[in-house]
Amino acid sequence: MQHNLYIGTYTFKGGEGIYRFAVSEDGFAFQGGEMAQNPSYLCLSPNKKYLYAACEVGQLDGVQGGGVRAYEVQPDGSLRFINQQSTVGRGSCHVSVSPEGKWLFVANYGEGSASVLPLNEDGSIGTIARHILHKGHGPNEKRQERPHVHFCKVTPDGKYLAICDLGLDGVFLYPFSEEEGVLDPCQKLSVPAGDGPRHLIFSKCGKYLYLLTEMGANVIVFERQEEGYACVQIAPTLPADYEGMKWGAAIRLSQDGRFLITSNRAHDSLTVFAVEENGKLRQVQNIPSGGKTPRDFDFSPDGKLVVVAHQDGGGLRLFKFCQASGLLTDTGLTAEAAIPVGVCFG
């Protein structure tokens, strides 16, 4: 079975925008692409009709701040550009859509802010409705000198917008509704000082939150309880004897929710965890990613394949995923894509 795959690239380092591939267990077939400026993260709308790209820049078309672009997905998988909007905040690095497809959320790493933009019925993006600017700093003077918002997504119950702030060592939960958008006040889930929250994902049941930290390279497991979320586990993603740089990147759940995978830059590996009945994690595998700096990866829609994007060498790498054991197998199959940093299956 072939799957449609979109890859975001860093154009300031040699990428050309959004690349499109057909992917099967036999490898990659390049299908073309779309020009865009630093489309570093990609996501689809809930109905799969539209694709959105965060443009990680300091200014876009002469306007200060990053941007976000909307595309309509054509029957053959190609993209038709719809429109583009400013996010106001610099360094837009992550984008997601609300469950009913009415709102778009963008994390602006460079400024330490989140942008909330309305979506129209035709998939186009409206002008920014709210700009959430964090303040403060963390203990790491080089990495946490200010807020650095890295991720924004609505919780499974649709009640909160979860924002990961690497600079402030916390996940901020803002009240949310599809009718009113993002409201105040927020509550903060704190992590160990200097760990640097990057991305998170929720369990299929919505009871557990799995947070990957960039500088700590840990998965922190939070359980939803009556009084809020409580930390129940901190699971390292790297071998105990590893002494190099810790640099967590991406986190994903398998389609059935039984396994969780993270990518580790610097160590250049993928770590697989089994998700136990109590929500806690048990590591089952750590495997080389097949390239340098595995920035992002994603499961194919049927859950049988995993594609890894290597920012600093190795291009795209294809792995088979055993849905019974959770084990990854490196196929050795690759594809060239200049500075790939975002992976999104159609």
62 pLDDT exceeds 90?
Answer: no
Residue 74 lies in a domain: yes
What's phi and psi for 284, nearest 5 deg? -120, -15
Residue 133 lies in a domain: yes
Give the tens place of pLDDT for each residue, 72-86.
999 999 999 999 999
The secondary structure of the chain in percent helix, strand, coil, rounded to multiples of 5, reads 0, 55, 45
Q: How confident is the model at residue 59 (pLDDT cuts 50, 70, 90)?
A: confident
Q: How confident is the model at residue 14 (pLDDT cuts 50, 70, 90)?
A: confident
319 pLDDT exceeds 90?
Answer: yes
Q: Which residues contact 227 (CB under 8 A, 6 or more apart)?
A: none
What's the rounded mean pLDDT across residues 296-304?
A: 98
Residue 236 amino acid letter = P
CB 167 within 8 A of CB 114: no
Residue 314 lies in a domain: no
Minimal CA–CA distance to 192: which of 172, 173, 171? 171
Residue 126 lies in a domain: yes
Predicted pLDDT at 51: 98
What's the rounded mean pLDDT across residues 44-67?
A: 93
Residue 87 lies in a domain: yes
Tell me which residue has tokens 């136990």.
276
Tell me which residue has tokens 């690759």.
334
Minimal CA–CA distance to 42: which of 19, 8, 12, 75? 8
Residue 47 lies in a domain: yes
Predicted pLDDT at 64: 87
Give the tens place of pLDDT for each residue, 275-293.
999 999 999 999 999 999 9
- Maximum CA pair distance of the chain? 52
How many Å apart are CA 107 and CA 148, to the nearest integer?
9
Predicted pLDDT at 258: 98
Q: How confident is the model at residue 60 (pLDDT cuts 50, 70, 90)?
A: confident
pTM: 0.97
126 pLDDT exceeds 90?
Answer: yes
Give the 3-state secondary structure of residue 69: strand
Residue 296 lies in a domain: no
Q: What percent of the chain has pLDDT over 70?
A: 100
The count of domains in the chain is 1
What's the rounded mean pLDDT across residues 153-167?
A: 97
Predicted pLDDT at 13: 87
Residue 327 lies in a domain: no
Give the 3-state secondary structure of residue 15: coil
Predicted pLDDT at 340: 98
How many Å apart are CA 191 and CA 212, to the nearest integer?
10
Give the tens place of pLDDT for each residue, 198-252.
999 999 999 999 999 999 999 999 999 988 899 999 999 999 999 999 999 999 9
Give the domain CATH number at 172: 2.130.10.10
CB 123 within 8 A of CB 50: yes
48 pLDDT exceeds 90?
Answer: yes
What's the rounded mean pLDDT across residues 300-319?
A: 98
Kindly report the average pLDDT of the chain as a whole number. 97
Predicted pLDDT at 132: 98
334 pLDDT exceeds 90?
Answer: yes
63 pLDDT exceeds 90?
Answer: no
Give the tens place of pLDDT for each residue, 170-203.
999 999 999 999 999 999 999 999 999 999 999 9
What's the rounded mean pLDDT across residues 327-342?
A: 97
How many Å apart are CA 242 and CA 283, to the nearest integer?
16
- Full domain range(s) for residue 154: 36-138+146-190
